[in-house]
Structure 1
Amino acid sequence: MRIVEIREKTVPISSPIRNAYIDFSKMTISLVAVVTDVIRDGKPVIGYGFNSNGRYGQGTLMRERFIPRVLEAEADTLIDEHGDNLDPHKIWAAMFRNEKPGGHGERSVAMGTIDMAVWDAVAKIAGKPLFQLLADRYGNGEPNRKVFVYAAGGYYYPGQDHEKLKDEMRGYLDRGYTVVKKKIGGASLDEDLRRIDSILSVLGDGQKLAVDANGRFDLDTAIRYAKALSQYDLFWYEEAGDPLDFELQATLRNYYDKPMATGENLFSMQDARNLIRHGGMRADRDWLQFDCALSYGLVEYLRTLDMLHQHGWSASRCIPHGGHQMSLNIAAGLGLGGNESYPDLFQPYGGFPDGVKVENGHITMPDLPGIGFEGKADLIAEMRKIAG
């Protein structure tokens, strides 16, 4: 049993949208295929992966460092102790060989993308959905197939007025979402508050709004927004300042006693641990958004979950960024609090397998082998283009 080939292709996910920090007009991602010599139904098992939006494709790093290390390793050093499957932890260690600690920004994305494809292959070889494999290996064997999802939208669009913004949010609510999200910090505080009021006017009972500043604010601005946002009952106030400014985050809790969220731009267990140690996050109300596809993959995410447990945090306080099926499987298999969703953006990479519907803010995981990419026709068609 061995990995025969690892292929990468950088593909565009460009869009005219913007948040408070970046626009997506030139955004790319890496699409990866891990080809094995294991045969199922007459065909080789292939695992697929891609990195989340917001960080560009990392094909150069993959081709120059991480893919060669895996392919150069002796095949038997990448097999699990039972000898009947690949071992993601050993493959991760092979990728990280000769790498110094620290400096997680782009390297973590490259490794996280390959790691996703490895886990897809491992679950397919085992003949299980990834969420079931995770529940079997790291839980009690009983996944929670019903997963909370929220609709991430509310970007700043060229020419978008308040009526179009309300129409966007109505579209998410009509599809079964109960929590929607909008961007803040890309306009004045007064305009952002008017946008919030417009969205709240279309929300009904049991429906909530989250807001996301994408790390735009300095401390004074973050506090001004915190005071203004306190008048609302928001689902959360997300990433007010620079993701590594733990002092800002810790200070902000003195001005905002309602739920906050951050973590999507922290790319290692060590950085996540520093947030928990120094960021003033509150385990009874705040949310953690670490995204395995950007942060060295599920192997590292398991370390992060262990760290959180040691610090008194429940995995149920994690709602990952990214809107991809990998995090859906982790949520179902390891008891996370839910997952982000992009109903209309970054397609075909976001969303759910065909036929999966949002009902009262939740989806139910279908029985598909691996991560379940084969259940999403437009996505698997793109993935198979690079698998040959």
Structure 2
Amino acid sequence: MTAHEAPGADPTGRDRISRIRLSRTHLPLATPISDAKVLTGRQRPMTEVVFLFAEITTSDGHEGIGFSYSKRAGGPGLYAHAVEIAPVLLGEDPNDIGRLWTKLVWAGASVGRSGLATQAVAAFDIALWDLKARRAGLPLAKLLGAHRDSVRCYNTSGGFLHTPTAQVLENATATLAAGIGGIKIKVGDPERGADLRRVAAVREHVGDGVPLMVDANQQWDRPTAQRMGRALEEFDLTWIEEPLDAYDAEGHAALAASLDTPVASGEMLASVAEHWELIRHRSVDVIQPDAPRVGGITQFLKLAALADHHQLQLAPHFAMEIHLHLAAAYPHEPWVEHFDWLEPLFTERLRTGDGRMHVPDRPGLGITLTEQARLWTRASHDVSAR
């Protein structure tokens, strides 16, 4: 190797992946978070979110960052799987994102091509798309082919079930004042009357013209979902989210066909194939994929094409730093979910106004990690070409 050649350089002059840094970062939450899964005893309150960050560098000095995450459990598993499969990327052309996704998945295919395995792959995939857009000098939305420069947005973080109704109302006021367009609150209280009183209070507080969504987090059975769906019709909801178990495609289909209120689901599914079950059964009016959960941007784009073909609304789950770009590239007017939880991790802020979130003009995803994020990192691993 000559003095001017970087490690991992290709003799043909093509750019190659030369270094990968993986980090497991634990983001603490100021207040333990409870939704219906806590009230039904299936989960404990959430106190942190664990992130898997992948930072990829090429022999020409280009960089990209991507992430996946886990709530309550699984973070160390994501990180361990990523450490094992990362070496297969060294020396590869970073442009070949589709081929590299397949290579990563098959490197760990003995533990499956869904769930934790593909969520680990997602961090690499998102980093490669970020790198490609940065190298092009374009926001990721523009690289993908944006249909709009801003996306309708709604807030979820102010409406969890651990929050008293009076505080939920205050949070809603602050949310709307910040230029966010809609309010989503959690339901699924075992005492159904409490849910109805809570929704009625929020609707009265924000008025009839404000988009309002509810989320039961899969905690209703079919009869309860039917009864609650009918009782909630009067509140003119934008959608009812996860009324049933995420894998109950037939139950969702029957419910969606019987209600005027749109039904939404998909956030807990971890592959395109799992989402296809919802789509082919006509189970949802609003599909809610999560790019870090389905395996990254490569898989999200496949799913978005299916959703577009079937004329579904799109409202990606969580991770607005990624999903803003993907929603902006969806042909039909979508929604993006505003969560302020991740703000301590990133130097940049996303701008909201007039009910919309605006695509930043920074290249790629437009995010860089803060020093605080580095301090919250409990494990890291470097893989470099020799």
1:353-388 Cα offsets, whole Å, 9 max, x none, are 43x4322211221210110113xxxx5334566699
Q: Distance in 1 between matches of 2:345 and 2:193?
A: 34
Q: 1:192 to 1:127 in 2, by over 3 A?
A: same
The one-letter amino acid paired with 1:233 is D
The one-letter amino acid paired with 1:146 is S
Q: Distance in 2 between matches of 1:10 and 1:187?
A: 34
Q: 1:58 to 1:129 in 2, by over 3 A?
A: same
Q: More strand by proportion, 1 or 2?
A: 2
What is the aligned partner in structure 2 of residue 33 from structure 1?
54
* 3-state secondary structure, aligned to 2:235: coil
Q: Which stretch shifts more, 324-333 or 112-121?
A: 112-121
1:122-141 Cα offsets, whole Å, 9 max, x none, are 22222221111111xxxxxx
What is the aligned partner in structure 1 of residue 19 from structure 2?
4
Contact conserved, 1:108 with 1:295, CA < 8 A, in 2? yes
Q: 1:102 to 1:225 in 2, by over 3 A?
A: farther
The one-letter amino acid paired with 2:335 is G
Q: 1:328 to 1:35 in 2, by over 3 A?
A: same
* 3-state secondary structure, aligned to 2:193: helix
Q: Distance in 2 between matches of 1:53 and 1:211?
A: 23
The one-letter amino acid paired with 1:89 is G
Q: Distance in 1 between matches of 2:73 and 2:148?
A: 32
1:365 equivalent to 2:359? Answer yes
Q: Which stretch shifts more, 30-39 or 317-326?
A: 30-39
1:342 equivalent to 2:352? Answer no
What is the aligned partner in structure 1 of residue 130 from structure 2?
120
1:246-296 Cα offsets, whole Å, 9 max, x none, are 121112124422211111111111111111112533xxxx21101111110
What is the aligned partner in structure 1 of residue 307 from structure 2?
308
Aligned alpha-carbon RMSD (Å): 2.6
1:91-118 Cα offsets, whole Å, 9 max, x none, are 2112112515966222222122232222
The one-letter amino acid paired with 2:149 is R
* 299, 307, 327: which one aligns with 2:323: 327
The one-letter amino acid paired with 1:121 is L
Contact conserved, 1:11 with 1:31, CA < 8 A, in 2? no
Q: TM-score if structure 2 supplies the norm length?
A: 0.83
1:88 equivalent to 2:97? Answer yes
* 248, 252, 265: which one aligns with 2:251: 248
What is the aligned partner in structure 1 of residue 189 from structure 2?
186
The one-letter amino acid paired with 2:20 is E
* 3-state secondary structure, aligned to 1:185: coil
* 3-state secondary structure, aligned to 1:155: coil
Q: Distance in 2 between matches of 1:35 and 1:117?
A: 7
* 3-state secondary structure, aligned to 1:228: helix
Q: Residues 1-388 of structure 1: matches in 2 within 5 Å?
A: 1-14=16-29, 15-21=31-37, 22-38=43-59, 44-52=61-69, 54=71, 56-64=73-81, 66-73=82-89, 75=91, 78-79=92-93, 85-98=94-107, 99=109, 104-135=114-145, 142-152=146-156, 153-157=158-162, 160-204=163-207, 206-281=209-284, 286-310=285-309, 312-313=310-311, 317-335=313-331, 337-343=334-340, 345-349=341-345, 353-354=348-349, 356-374=350-368, 379-382=369-372
* 3-state secondary structure, aligned to 2:55: strand
Q: Distance in 2 between matches of 1:383 and 1:122?
A: 24
The one-letter amino acid paired with 1:291 is D
Q: 1:340 to 1:328 in 2, by over 3 A?
A: same
* 3-state secondary structure, aligned to 2:205: coil
Aligned pair count? 354
The one-letter amino acid paired with 1:112 is A
Note the C-alpha offset of 1:218: 0.8
Q: 1:205 to 1:178 in 2, by over 3 A?
A: farther
Q: 1:101 to 1:287 in 2, by over 3 A?
A: farther
The one-letter amino acid paired with 1:371 is L
Q: Distance in 2 between matches of 1:89 and 1:195?
A: 46
Q: Distance in 2 between matches of 1:35 and 1:291?
A: 22
1:160-180 Cα offsets, whole Å, 9 max, x none, are 433222111111111112210
Q: 1:206 to 1:325 in 2, by over 3 A?
A: same
Note the C-alpha offset of 1:13: 3.5
1:56-114 Cα offsets, whole Å, 9 max, x none, are 454434434x4443423562xx32xxxxx532212211211251596622222212223
Q: Distance in 1 between matches of 2:345 and 2:229?
A: 33
The one-letter amino acid paired with 1:148 is R
Q: Distance in 2 between matches of 1:161 and 1:72?
A: 49
Q: Distance in 1 between matches of 2:17 and 2:90?
A: 9
Contact conserved, 1:30 with 1:59, CA < 8 A, in 2? no
Q: Distance in 2 between matches of 1:145 and 1:174?
A: 21
Q: Distance in 2 between matches of 1:6 and 1:68?
A: 13
Contact conserved, 1:4 with 1:71, CA < 8 A, in 2? no
What is the aligned partner in structure 2 of residue 82 from structure 1?
none
Q: Distance in 1 between matches of 2:88 and 2:110?
A: 20
Q: TM-score if structure 1 supplies the norm length?
A: 0.82
Q: 1:110 to 1:69 in 2, by over 3 A?
A: closer
The one-letter amino acid paired with 1:51 is S
Note the C-alpha offset of 1:205: 5.1
